[in-house]
Amino acid sequence: MKILVAGATGSIGLHVMNAAIDKGHQPVALVRNRRKVKLLPHKADVFYGDVSMPETLTGVTKDIDAVIFTLGSDGQGRIGARAIDYGGVRNILRMFKDTHIRIALMTTIGVTERLSTWNQHTEVHDWKRRAERLVRASGHPYTIVRPGWFDYNHDDERRIIMLQGDRRHTGTPEDGVVSRTQIAHVLVSALTNDAAKNKTFELVAERGKVQEDLTPLFADLLADNPQKNDGVLDMDNMSLGEEPDCLIRELKQFSEHVKSI
């Protein structure tokens, strides 16, 4: 597959690029900062653009089979969360509205937790959750992965666990830990595994050996309800009726476009 990687020079995106190459895919790094190109694998394909500026993404759809989102606003607060965590996903999805693609979106464990001081200040969870909703409404086959704390796992914690319902809300590594390499492996693997289609889950690692075959793990998960906005077992604590009108319109635009095809 030819895979566009949004967030390719980030700490997860770099692992995704390598994992995709290892699996025989052709990843295309979407890069804003040209100075970071040197971080990418040797001879990696690059598309220069800024996810927050849709005019820079013209032509990005050429021959792309799938998109992996590993975007992060990196402490830029509410403005960055809206522009990148949400806006970046929205802008790329718009570019592919008439093109059939497979999507893997990375958000975060605890994304449905809204009352913490951190989320109240940054709204990062809320904006990532809204991005999830856009992906579900887009009509594209997708997998949404909510990883635990990156690289907080011990060497013997390699057994992959996939959870649903997002009930771990301590805001600490107690919610779950997982390595960056394993996150990348799951994101890339999901693109070609039918058992992962239209599923949302939290990803952590516990004590034990890594599983070579992820199909049984994907197969044990419940698929999202196409009539709802959130993950299949998520708590209903962000009502669509209470969302800003502009966001409701954007969500409806995706849904209505799918119905018109």
Q: What is the pLDDT of residues 18-28, one digit of tens each?
A: 999 999 999 99
| CATH at 68 | 3.40.50.720
Mean pLDDT of the chain: 95
pTM here is: 0.97
- C-alpha 78/C-alpha 92 separation (Å) is 20
Neighbours of 172 (CB within 10 A): 11
pLDDT at 231: 98
Instruction: Report CA-CA distances (Å) from 105 to 37, 144, 186, 246, 250.
Output: 22, 5, 11, 22, 18
Q: What is the pLDDT of residues 120-165, one digit of tens each?
A: 999 999 999 999 999 999 999 999 999 999 999 999 999 999 999 9
> Per-residue pLDDT averaged across 235-251, rounded?
94
Q: What is the pLDDT of residues 34-58, one digit of tens each?
A: 889 999 998 789 999 999 999 999 9
Residue 75 confidence class, pLDDT cut points 50, 70, 90: confident
What is the phi-psi region of residue 171: left when phi exceeds 0, alpha when psi lies from -120 to 50, beta otherwise? left
Crossing angle of helices 13-22 and 180-190, rounded to 10°: 50
Do 63 and 4 contact (CB within 8 A), yes or no?
no
Do 196 and 8 contact (CB within 8 A), yes or no?
no
Based on the number of CB atoms within 10 Å of its own CB, is 41 exposed (0-12), middle (13-18) or buried (19 or more)? middle
pLDDT at 62: 86
Residue 191's domain comprises: 2-260
> Per-residue pLDDT averaged across 75-94, rounded?
94
Structure tokens at 154: 């011990």
Q: What's the number of domains the chain is made of?
A: 1
Torsion sign, CA atoms 188, 190, 194, 198 = negative
Q: What are phi and psi of 63, to 5 degrees?
A: 65, 15
Residue 116 confidence class, pLDDT cut points 50, 70, 90: very high
Structure tokens at 166: 């997002």
